[in-house]
Amino acid sequence: MDRWGALFFCLCLVTSQSGTAESSRDVLRWMETMEVAAKKRTLISFADLIHGLESRLLNASFGGHNLSLRTQTIQTLAFKLGCNFAGLSLRSDALERVPQTQVRHSMQFPAELTQDACRTRPRDLRLMCIYFLTTRFFKKDINSSLLNDYVLGAQLGHGHVNNLSDRVNISFWHNQSLESYTVTCVFWKEGASKDHWGAWSPEGCITEQPSPSQVLCRCNHLTYFAVLMQLSPAPIPAELLAPLTYISLVGCSISIVASLLTVLLHFHARKQSDSTTRIHMNLHVSVLLLNVAFLLSPVWAVPGSACTVLGATLHYTLLSCLTWTAVEGFNLYLLLGRVYNVYIRRYVLKLCAVGWGIPAFLVLLLLAVKSSVYGPHRIPLSDSQRNGTGFQNMSICWVRSPGVHSVLVMGYGGLTSLFNLVVLIWALRVLRRLRAQENAPGPRACRDTVTVLGLTVLLGTTWALAFFSFGVFLLPQLFLFTIFNSLYGFFLFLWFCSQRCRSEAKAEAGMEAFSSSQTMQAGL
């Protein structure tokens, strides 16, 4: 009997090992099939592929406490857990490394992980970890890229894990500093997109950065995790949203009224207008349209054609406003720099073709190439006081492509601001040289100060504040940029009024001088 018992035990052992090997090969074949399907972009659903892998890992038989398998871009781990689970820490340094892996990652699971499952299913608990070193199975955010192209997933078999008080910690490291990026911890939310089998969402995750090259995601559930990174200024603190919104609403409303009033006054006195005044009016109209489009943009920030049109309109009005400030700089150069009178046929009409035509051409070209470049654009808001979500989002209808934003917003604005800054410095030197030939009494010095401030506003140099949204300059820049540029139309109105008062004063002085000369001639 002892011989037969030993033979039976050996047979069971061989059979068990054979079954374990077959289960491992089945999982491995499925992983290889997933890689082939991802490369060929077949019609097979990525959701079915991933769920199939989860099912095979859940039903795989293996000896010991864990199973580890890997292919070129996928690595899987399965652990047998009991109700006495005390927590688990996984680090890429301690795992079998994939050849392409150059950066570290880790996952830490709390003891609370198995508590709910043990109440309903006190045995056969299995933790499955799936690491994707490719993003082909998941849809990237249009405004962001995934850090290291890593997606780290974890599932507890036969149940969902949600609302953990002791959170799961997922750490991502990068081989370079991430200080110039906005990073957001997200998870894959199935059914959240009509175009794909899911979408990235930040719900239930808190984003922390213990060091410049590390991102720590603290999430209260299990799923597939990643880090969205965007080359942009740091997220705006959520507590500043209310004051910034209030300043924008009040400032833009005042500017709209001021621009309307300026245009009406111009039409009332259009007989006295010259080319310079007509250029000012075109700038006022562009500022008026920009403020109106900006106020409407958050209201219609939902996917659809309306948001696309409004985003394109907002971009067009911004480009027009920047272009007209450059036109003001060019006109100022002609006024101060020309020695002889220069006549340009249909001068204002040609400037209108530049000020309104070039922005229209650029926006229409973008719409013709890819209309999805405009739509709801999410602005991340950091919130350190909430327990559930580390980042919120507010949306406006705006440019969604980072490349287009870099070239046709920041680049375009940078060129116009640089041009106007050079013209401003040159104009101030010319004015100083002219004043040096005269005595400068107090009133004249005061008028010169007003002139300098007026030219600074007229040339739109306050738009250059957009390039200081980093580091210690972020918070001051947010308020200064919001205040000055929301009230830009009002400042232009003040400049218009000062110039009109000055011209009327000169006209009255001329009339008085003429009448006094006539009186003297009559007395002689």
**44: which 2 tokens?**
């097979």
| CA dihedral sign, ordered 130, 135, 138, 143 | positive
Q: Is the dihedral of CA 243, 248, 249, 254 positive or negative?
A: positive
Helix H or strand E encompassing 293 = helix 275-296
Tell me the C-alpha distance between 149 and 140, whole Å.
Answer: 10
Residue 202, Cβ density class (10 Å: 0-12 exposed, 13-18 middle, ≥19 buried): buried
Cα gap 318→311, rounded to integer Å: 11
The residues, ordered by sequence, that sit 6+ positions from 174 with a Cβ below 8 Å of its Cβ are 103, 147, 148, 213, 214, 215
Number of other residues whose CB lies within 10 A of the CB of residue 253: 15
Judged by DSSP in three states, 77 sits in strand
The phi and psi torsions of 85 (rounded to 5 degrees) equal: -60, 130
Distance CA 467, CA 470 (A): 8
CB 102 within 8 A of CB 147: no
Instruction: Look up residue 524 and give its two tokens.
Output: 């002689």
Taking Cα atoms as reference points, which of 200, 158, 142 lies closest to residue 377?
Answer: 142
Report phi then psi at 321, rounded to 5: -60, -45
Q: Give the single-character DSSP code of 234.
A: P
Could you read off the pLDDT of 158-173 as tens digits, one per residue?
Answer: 667 888 888 899 998 8
In the block, residue with structure tokens 């004249």: 444
Residue 210 near residue 149, CB atoms below 8 Å = no
Stretch (H or E) spanning 450:
helix 442-458
Give residue for tokens 């039409």.
Answer: 267
3-state secondary structure of 146: strand
Per-residue pLDDT 10s for the chain (524 aa) are 455 444 433 434 333 444 456 667 888 888 888 888 877 765 567 788 888 888 888 888 777 778 888 888 888 888 888 888 888 888 887 665 544 445 788 899 988 888 877 877 656 788 888 888 887 888 765 556 788 888 898 888 766 788 888 889 999 888 877 766 778 888 888 877 766 778 888 888 888 888 878 889 989 888 887 887 765 555 677 778 888 889 999 999 999 999 999 988 887 765 556 788 889 899 999 999 999 999 998 888 776 788 889 999 999 999 999 999 999 989 888 888 764 456 678 888 999 999 999 999 999 999 998 887 888 876 766 655 543 333 445 778 898 877 788 899 989 999 999 998 998 888 888 877 777 766 545 455 556 666 777 778 888 888 888 887 666 667 788 888 999 999 999 998 988 888 777 766 665 655 665 455 555 555 54
User: Nearest Cα to 457, choosing from 328, 264, 318, 337?
Assistant: 328
Q: Which residues contact residue 161 at a Cβ distance below 8 angstroms, ignoring those fewer than 6 apart?
A: 113, 116, 117, 221, 222
Tell me which H or E stretch contains 327: helix 305-337
Helix, strand, or coil (residue 395): strand
- The predicted model scores a pTM of 0.59
Residue type at 301 in one-letter notation: A
In whole angstroms, give the CA distance from residue 374 to residue 398: 6
The half-sphere exposure of 145 on its side-chain side, counting CA atoms within 13 A, is 10
